[in-house]
Every structure is written in structure tokens, then in C-alpha cells.
Amino acid sequence: METQTPLPVTPRRRPSSPRVLLRALAAAMLVATLFVTFTPASLSRSLSDQLSLLLTPQAEGEFLPGGTSRPKIRIGIVAGHWGNDSGAVCENGTTEVDVNLRIATLVQQKLTALGFETDLLEEFDPRLTGYRAAALVSIHNDSCVYINDQATGFKVARAMSARDQNLAGRLEACLRDRYQRRTGLPWHNSITNDMTLYHAFDEISPDTTAAIIETGFLNLDYRILTENTDQVATGVVDGILCFINNENIAPTAVP
């Protein structure tokens, strides 16, 4: 015979609630255990590959999906006068070619460290013939003789021989904007034929976007060029990166 037991006075829990919770917890633990124990061995190779691809920033990966090496972006740097002549010569013996080479070498090292394929080229480097790269920048400096108080600052000229003048214009604008920001040197508006008709522009492939920069005057800008060479080189690198990465350029006032 059944005896009627009185209902408990305490509020009734919802029936089966703890059991459901326990089951869910057990299932979650099982899944977690499976993941910890068997991943990635139990996952198919392609799935784990896809997962690792998703977790790897695409731009930084050295390999393309499928395992082939990601082609590196090539950039050429010409050290002005190197292998040919001294360029401008200062009274203290400093030569333009030495300053150009120091800047160009730093630019190359910085770009290489960023993962680019780089070439440090002489003024009349045989490799310039038909040279193909995403960008070529030639580095020179201006006179060591005092001209006047305005003979300070930098100049940039694009290769007029480039097939794509939009790209060449962008490289020129990027170098001008970023170099000025980094160094604080003024823009010197005196582009000569030496720059616009620069010999290497006619030697390289017309598909290579190129520009020449005179990073300063060896007279009035002597200190920044020789004592803050790293800052000067970084200004050139900033300009090249602006071009390669298609960065925005703030509009510069027309002088």
C-alpha cells in the first residue's frame, strides 16, 4: 500500500533540470576532450591546413596555399655615382658618392628586412638594362658649394619614360610627401634635365616605375645627411612603402 507523503514545503525545482545540465556538461567535456586530445591528428589534413591559413595573416605568409613560395616584390636602389665617379666633392673631403652609398645601403637593408627582394645598383650597373622591378629609386645629393640660403632641401623627379605615368606620378608624390614628413627638409623646386632625363630611366624596362631623389644639398643640409643618415634613409623607405602599399597622400600645396 502506498502512503501519501506530503509535498515538500521548499519550492520545487523544475524536474529533470539538473539531469539535462549534467548531460550538456558531459557532452561539452567530451567535445573539449576530443579537441584537445585528437586535434589536429583526427582532423583531415586539408581542414587543419585551412585553419592554419585562416590564422596566418596572408600578406606575411612566405608561402601561397599549395606550398609554392610567395613571389617577393623587387625594388632597385641606385647609389648615385657609385662605381663611376665621386659626384660633388666637399672641401673636407666628403664626396657625394660616399653619402649616396651610405643612404642607399641603409635603404636597401631596411627594405630587405621588411621582406622585399632588393638590388643595390651602381650608377651604370649592367643590370639596369631592361631592369624589371616594382620600383627603382636613384639616390643623389646636390652641390657641396654654398650657392645661397635657399639652396637647401630635396628634389624628386619621376621617369618620364615609364609606360604608366599614373604610377610614376604616384611614386614621385609618395617620395615627396613621405620624405618631407620624415626629414622636415623643404621641397626644392628646381628640377633640372639631369633629373628628368636621367640616363637610367631610358635603360630600365618601361614597365618599371622609377624616380630619382636628390636627398639634400651637401652644403646647407650637410649635418642631416651625414649625421642623421638613418632618418634620411627612412624617409626614402617611407616613400617607397607609400607607393608599394598604395597609401593615401595628403594633398600638398602647389608652390
Residues lying near Zn ion in the complex (CB under 5 A): 80, 87, 140
Shortest distance in whole angstroms from residue 64 CB to Zn ion: 41
Shortest distance in whole angstroms from residue 80 CB to Zn ion: 4
Shortest distance in whole angstroms from residue 214 CB to Zn ion: 7
* DSSP 3-state of 180: helix
CB-based closest residue to Zn ion: 140
Residue closer to Zn ion, measured from CB, 96 or 177: 96
Contact predicate 240/210, CB 8 Å: no
Residue closer to Zn ion, measured from CB, 88 or 134: 88
Residue closer to Zn ion, measured from CB, 87 or 239: 87
The full DSSP string for 148-162 is -TT--SBEEEE-TT-
* SS3 assignment for 89-117: ECCCCCEHHHHHHHHHHHHHHHHHHCCCE
For the chain, how long is the longest CA-to-CA vector?
122
Residue closer to Zn ion, measured from CB, 120 or 244: 120
Residue closer to Zn ion, measured from CB, 80 or 239: 80
Task: Look at residues 70, 75, 72 and name the one whose alpha carbon lies nearest to residue 174.
Answer: 75
Taking residue 173's Cβ as centre, other Cβ atoms within 10 Å add up to: 19
Question: How far is the C-alpha of 107 from the C-alpha of 140, rounded, in Å?
Answer: 13
Contact predicate 221/152, CB 8 Å: yes
Shortest distance in whole angstroms from residue 121 CB to Zn ion: 14
Shortest distance in whole angstroms from residue 99 CB to Zn ion: 10
Shortest distance in whole angstroms from residue 88 CB to Zn ion: 7
Residue closer to Zn ion, measured from CB, 173 or 195: 195
What is the grid cell recorded at 72?
Answer: 617577393
Q: What share of the chain is helix, strand, coil (3-state, %, to 5)?
A: 40, 15, 45
